[in-house]
Structure 1
Amino acid sequence: MASMHSTICFLSLFLALHFFSPSLAKISTSSDAICNSTPYPFFCQSILPNNQSSTIYDYARFSIRHSLETTSHFLSLVNSYLTLPNGLSQPTIRALKDCQSLLGLNMDFLSTTIQSIDSTDTLQSSQADDTHTLLSAIMTNHQTCSDGLQATTPPSSIQNNFLSPFDDGNKLYSVSLALFKHGYVPKTRKGRWLAERESLFSKYGHLGLKMSSQHQKIYESLSGRKLWQTSGGGQVKVNNMVVVSKHGSGNFTTISDAVAAAPTNTAANQGYFMIYVVGGVYEEYVSIAQNKQYLMMVGDGINKTVITGNHSVADGWTTYSSPTFAVVGPGFVAINITIQNTAGAIKQQAVALLNNADLSTFYNCSIKGYQDTLLTHSMRQFYSHCDIYGTVDFIFGNAAVVFQNCNVYPRLPMQGQFNTITAQGRTDINQNTGTSIQNCTIIAAPDLAADNGKTQTYLGRPWQLYSRTVYMQSFMDSLINPAGWAVWSGTFALDTLYYAEYNNRGPGSSTTNRVTWPGYHVISATDAVNFTVSNFISGDHWLPATGVLYTSGLM
């Protein structure tokens, strides 16, 4: 028995270290050995078939199919509670509706994943990246649902009924993600050197706008200018356009009506449905559903086209249901718009923008709030030349997201509070998520500047166990506390998080007195390149079509 045990342990270690090798991944082995490469070996062994040897691909497919069945059960459970005639508090109903939406997304994501891998042991790099993103988002959606139910007040029996099965569901999704990653995802891509990035930038950095002559005339007559200076010969394809004007001079008077009129389930190669929003203040809550794909929303400029709301947790909304603007439909692009939540610091969590949209882009936008301003919830996202205002955890979530050339403005919080710019929510070591802040400027908003340094401001704190945030090539003013980073609670996540700084500048950028946590790093260019647009969000594959200015690698 001792000899057999040693053999199994050696095989388990060997597989765990070498699963990235396609040839080894094709070897049939027991579920016990496979499970040792996951975060939950014993749970993994309890769900996988243990009476036969299979490849990691077989086990991944089995686990993901099981995940789909489990998610369907969770969704049915949520739906059954929502059909109860009475007895549920409004916060509980809102939390359940959040779960209904999030679990519905998970059903779609798992079905898509199964279609991708059901009959193949190999995926192209881009397909593997897409699927890795979906499986990472499934865990995030599940966590948000669970957190929302646990936060409802007053406490209800629903919390107890969901707690144990949801914990097992989280483990199942984690196992599925681990098996997929070890079987299908190639090793980390290498970064490009500057000359190649500059060539790409000069080719795609500024693109023209391709639309019909009639639409072009409408746009130019209303805006008095073109979207971008054109160079490089590329074009952004627009297949249709509508105009929103609250004064009645366009096709619609509300943004929501224009979104409702957009086509559904369009493909990237069909071009954008463009919604041009004439300058004005639009007091409405905008939601762009999953089937509203490849929308481009263009305003007249920051503080000219303004979308505003004031929902907050203090007024009975969940954090997830509080945003002024929420987008799920992939391929979304926003340009020249202000999105704000005016609830104020006193109303606690109050989201201005919630972004669940894969391959989404915000360019020259202003996102204003206080606590929890910008929820970069999941998927792959890019923000360029944006202004972001807030107080506590005001850039938070678990997307794979890059902020480039943005202005970050910490504001004055409530008395007794301190500012934390980021609260990244990575819950699993195999998720491909994190927050990358590159060549941004971090300075105090006017109200915080007038506070004369009494309020402490930190780069971030670890909301979840594997929180991952990188600041690189950015300007940090003196408002940043010398320690740089704040704790969440005691020693939670200090040895599992990944916080890094690279080549920043300004009086707040010195790393001399930074925290000494095991998970904090001052990194070199070799590591920093992993968090660039090209490597971290595969931006070279999808950003050129948006026409938005970006830099592929390090600057």
Structure 2
Amino acid sequence: MERSAKVMGAVVSTILIVGVVIGVVAMVRHGNSDDKGGGQGVGGGGGDSGSSTSTSTKTANAICATTTHKEACTTSLESVANNPNASIQDYLSAALNATMSELEKAIEVTSKVKVDKADDPHNDQMGMDDCKEFLDTAVEQLQASISSVGESQLHTLEDRVQEFISWLTGVYIYQATCIDQLEKPEYKTPVQDGMLNASQLTENAIYIFSELTNLTSSLNLNFSSIADAATRSAATLSTSRRLLNNAERVGENGYPSWFTSTDRKLLQDAKQDPGVEAVPIQPNAVVALDGSGQFNSINDAIGSIPPKNTERFVIYVKAGIYNEVVLIKKIPNVFIFGDGQGKTIISGDLSVALKGVKTSNSATVAVDSDGFMIKSLTIRNTAGPDGHQAVALRIAGQNAVVFDCSIEGYQDTLYYHRGRQFYKNCVISGTVDFIFGNGRAIIQDSMIVVRKPNPNQSNMVTADGGLLPNGEHGLVLQNCRITAEPLLEDAKAQHKSYLGRPWKAYAVTIYMQNDIGDFVAPEGYSVFTNVGEGSLNQNTAIYGEYLNIGPGSISDRRDVNNFKNWHLLSPQEAEGYTVGAFIQGGSWLINTGVPYNVGL
């Protein structure tokens, strides 16, 4: 994990927002008093043009009052601020298009930064290549947001607010990851400076969507609720989060529209061992080392997926050890399943310290696609503790399911990079920050195994990388067993082990209903210190615990001096971090065949 300077943002004062909005509402009502049919225009169609223009400008100001970078927001809305008939979609489109313009400028700046390959000890050339790819993906995410706003009517936006927040959080994550890839200031600084405007406008857009319900309801528009209030106070989860019911965002038969009957049958058969007698579902591709399949390698099977394929593509990997680095890039809806943990094994050894790659490139299995599913196999990075950052599984994608898998490594084992992800019945092992990322993930009913690190090293189970208070991110461990491997158990006096530390400023990590071993330090959490500089991430990070058991769960000695936002959750707060509320599992996991607990 490349350690970058923390990304800080300010929480907007609700009093300021309400005050500005009340003023705008008064202007809107006054300007529309004689209007007979102004439609959905924010400024209305009545009154004289000067009054209407003033009202639309005030509306833009009200929208920008919800953001962190207000001046940048005001400039981005200039194209609609003087339009008295502008709709809420017009304002949203203007904000997103301005962000796109700045992101394209950032890409242009990045393309002009040249790395001296003869003097590249940190492999910044690889970092620059990664940076360009991440920014290209950010553009695609943003284009999807722009298209969806343009196509949506106001009433359909209501159910898609959290989707937009998720997309935009991904855009922000890719920008931040781009910067994280670079080490040398002469390369990092110009890229960071060139991306500043794009980052600020992306952050603004996230704030605008987060506050959209408050704005539209105050402006008397038909927009009644928000899907997910991501902003939390230091001590409490917002009670305004909307819990999706089972009927939302599903197809005709009660299943998610993107989830086919084949998907359901595959996961319903997850308890079976398809390698014993017969594969329960006919896969699109079979991989086998003994030649009994269509392919000898997993990458060859992935390469056989037709271009622009959007249907579920199923790859069955028979038992064996596959020494390959698997990359699934911009191929949605890939499903990989094996013959079971310890039978089908995907193994790699890439690492930052020993192989000179960047953290993102060290993954044995790297997924940059939505709708990814994997079950019944082992993913392993064998670099060992000397490899430092060495990822086994990295997922950057929405609606990912990892079921009945063993994910093995030391430092940075599991990287939940972007998007909503659900892990069930897994074994995840490692040492330093071994469950980390910027996405939003829940790990349920799994075994978390802490291993023995190198001498003078401590263990941190988690390292969340929440970048913004309003972004879609965070990690929840629910009903898991956190235990030490025998080698660490024998040496736990020499190695302190913590439940986590905040990688970024707005880390959110919740432990609920887990069994925590006695090897965990009583203070629970460790501060994060960047190389060469101190970090104050602990001041803004949120850590919560709820009904954990075991000697490591005793909380009376937790480090509340450094972690002022740590607290024991109430049942109401804990409910906000469940599958139903936190990753909207009721809308995309329902009836898939994945066993999961939607609540506490």
User: What TM-score, normalized by structure 2, do the two folds share?
Assistant: 0.78
The correspondence of residues 118-157 of structure 1 with structure 2, limited to 5 A, is 118=150, 120-149=153-182, 151=183, 155=184, 157=186
The correspondence of residues 292-303 of structure 1 with structure 2, limited to 5 A, is 292-303=331-342
Q: Which residue of 1 aligns with 2:569?
A: 523
Taking the aligned partners of 2:60 and 2:325, their CA distance within structure 1 comes to 48
Of 498, 505, 508 in structure 1, the residue corresponding to residue 549 of structure 2 is 505
Asked whether 1:473 is paired with 2:513, we answer yes
Q: Secondary structure at the match of 2:284?
A: strand
Taking the aligned partners of 2:522 and 2:550, their CA distance within structure 1 comes to 12
Of 76, 79, 82 in structure 2, the residue corresponding to residue 52 of structure 1 is 82
Q: 1:551 to 1:10 in 2, by over 3 A?
A: closer
TM-superposed CA distance for 1:210, in Å, is 7.5
Of 320, 326, 339 in structure 1, the residue corresponding to residue 379 of structure 2 is 339
Of 191, 216, 224 in structure 2, the residue corresponding to residue 162 of structure 1 is 191
Of 94, 97, 108 in structure 2, the residue corresponding to residue 65 of structure 1 is 97
Q: Which residue of 2 aligns with 1:312?
A: 351
Cα deviations across residues 338-390 of structure 1 (Å, max 9, x unaligned)?
11111111121111111002111110101111111111001110000010111
TM-superposed CA distance for 1:451, in Å, is 0.9
Q: 1:220 to 1:324 in 2, by over 3 A?
A: closer
Q: 1:171 to 1:261 in 2, by over 3 A?
A: same
Match of 1:494, as an amino acid? Q
Q: Secondary structure at the match of 1:274?
A: strand
Q: Secondary structure at the match of 1:465?
A: coil
Asked whether 1:437 is paired with 2:437, we answer no
Q: Which residue of 1 aligns with 2:465?
A: 425
Match of 1:172, as an amino acid? L
Native 8 Å contact 2:410 2:429 kept in 1: yes
The correspondence of residues 33-48 of structure 1 with structure 2, limited to 5 A, is 33-48=62-77
Of 519, 523, 545 in structure 2, the residue corresponding to residue 483 of structure 1 is 523
Of 289, 295, 303 in structure 1, the residue corresponding to residue 329 of structure 2 is 289
Q: Secondary structure at the match of 2:499?
A: strand
Native 8 Å contact 2:460 2:501 kept in 1: yes
Cα deviations across residues 263-307 of structure 1 (Å, max 9, x unaligned)?
34444xx5x3211101111110100111x2211111111111111
TM-superposed CA distance for 1:498, in Å, is 1.2
Asked whether 1:246 is paired with 2:284, we answer no
Q: Secondary structure at the match of 2:156?
A: coil
Match of 1:522, as an amino acid? L
Cα deviations across residues 22-49 of structure 1 (Å, max 9, x unaligned)?
x999564254443221122243335442
Taking the aligned partners of 1:542 and 1:447, their CA distance within structure 2 comes to 40
Match of 1:471, as an amino acid? Y
Q: 1:190 to 1:180 in 2, by over 3 A?
A: closer
Taking the aligned partners of 2:370 and 2:506, their CA distance within structure 1 comes to 26
Cα deviations across residues 237-280 of structure 1 (Å, max 9, x unaligned)?
x684211001211000000000111234444xx5x321110111
Q: Which residue of 2 aligns with 1:223?
A: 276
Q: 1:265 to 1:17 in 2, by over 3 A?
A: farther
Taking the aligned partners of 1:210 and 1:109, their CA distance within structure 2 comes to 25
Taking the aligned partners of 2:442 and 2:273, their CA distance within structure 1 comes to 31
Q: Which residue of 2 aligns with 1:74?
A: 106
Taking the aligned partners of 2:176 and 2:523, their CA distance within structure 1 comes to 30
Cα deviations across residues 292-339 of structure 1 (Å, max 9, x unaligned)?
221111111111111111111112101111111101221111111111
Match of 2:168, as an amino acid? L
Native 8 Å contact 1:211 1:239 kept in 2: no
TM-superposed CA distance for 1:208, in Å, is 9.0
Structure 2 regions of 5+ residues with no counterpart?
1-13, 30-40, 44-55, 214-225, 230-239, 248-253
Q: Which residue of 1 aligns with 2:251?
A: none
TM-superposed CA distance for 1:10, in Å, is 7.5
Native 8 Å contact 1:390 1:409 kept in 2: yes
TM-superposed CA distance for 1:11, in Å, is 6.6
Taking the aligned partners of 1:500 and 1:226, their CA distance within structure 2 comes to 42
Native 8 Å contact 1:31 1:48 kept in 2: yes
TM-superposed CA distance for 1:462, in Å, is 0.9
Taking the aligned partners of 1:295 and 1:535, their CA distance within structure 2 comes to 26
Q: Which residue of 1 aligns with 2:501?
A: 461
Q: Secondary structure at the match of 1:115?
A: helix
Q: Secondary structure at the match of 2:187?
A: helix
The correspondence of residues 172-183 of structure 1 with structure 2, limited to 5 A, is 172-183=201-212
Asked whether 1:551 is paired with 2:581, we answer no
The correspondence of residues 9-48 of structure 1 with structure 2, limited to 5 A, is 12-15=17-20, 26=42, 28=56, 29-48=58-77
Native 8 Å contact 1:264 1:293 kept in 2: no
Taking the aligned partners of 1:221 and 1:176, their CA distance within structure 2 comes to 46
Native 8 Å contact 1:208 1:547 kept in 2: no
Native 8 Å contact 2:244 2:587 kept in 1: no
User: What TM-score, normalized by structure 1, do the two folds share?
Assistant: 0.84
Match of 2:167, as an amino acid? L
Structure 1 regions of 5+ residues with no counterpart?
1-8, 197-202, 228-237
Q: Secondary structure at the match of 1:336?
A: strand
Match of 1:525, as an amino acid? P
TM-superposed CA distance for 1:440, in Å, is 0.6
Cα deviations across residues 475-504 of structure 1 (Å, max 9, x unaligned)?
101011111111113561233211100111
Match of 1:261, as an amino acid? S
Taking the aligned partners of 1:432 and 1:385, their CA distance within structure 2 comes to 24
Taking the aligned partners of 1:31 and 1:122, their CA distance within structure 2 comes to 21
Q: Secondary structure at the match of 2:286?
A: strand
Q: Secondary structure at the match of 2:357?
A: coil
TM-superposed CA distance for 1:100, in Å, is 1.9
Native 8 Å contact 2:273 2:340 kept in 1: no
Q: Which residue of 1 aligns with 2:144?
A: 112
Taking the aligned partners of 2:478 and 2:491, their CA distance within structure 1 comes to 27
Q: 1:66 to 1:366 in 2, by over 3 A?
A: same
Native 8 Å contact 1:293 1:330 kept in 2: yes
TM-superposed CA distance for 1:553, in Å, is 1.1
Q: 1:483 to 1:466 in 2, by over 3 A?
A: same
Q: 1:190 to 1:300 in 2, by over 3 A?
A: same
Q: 1:547 to 1:420 in 2, by over 3 A?
A: same
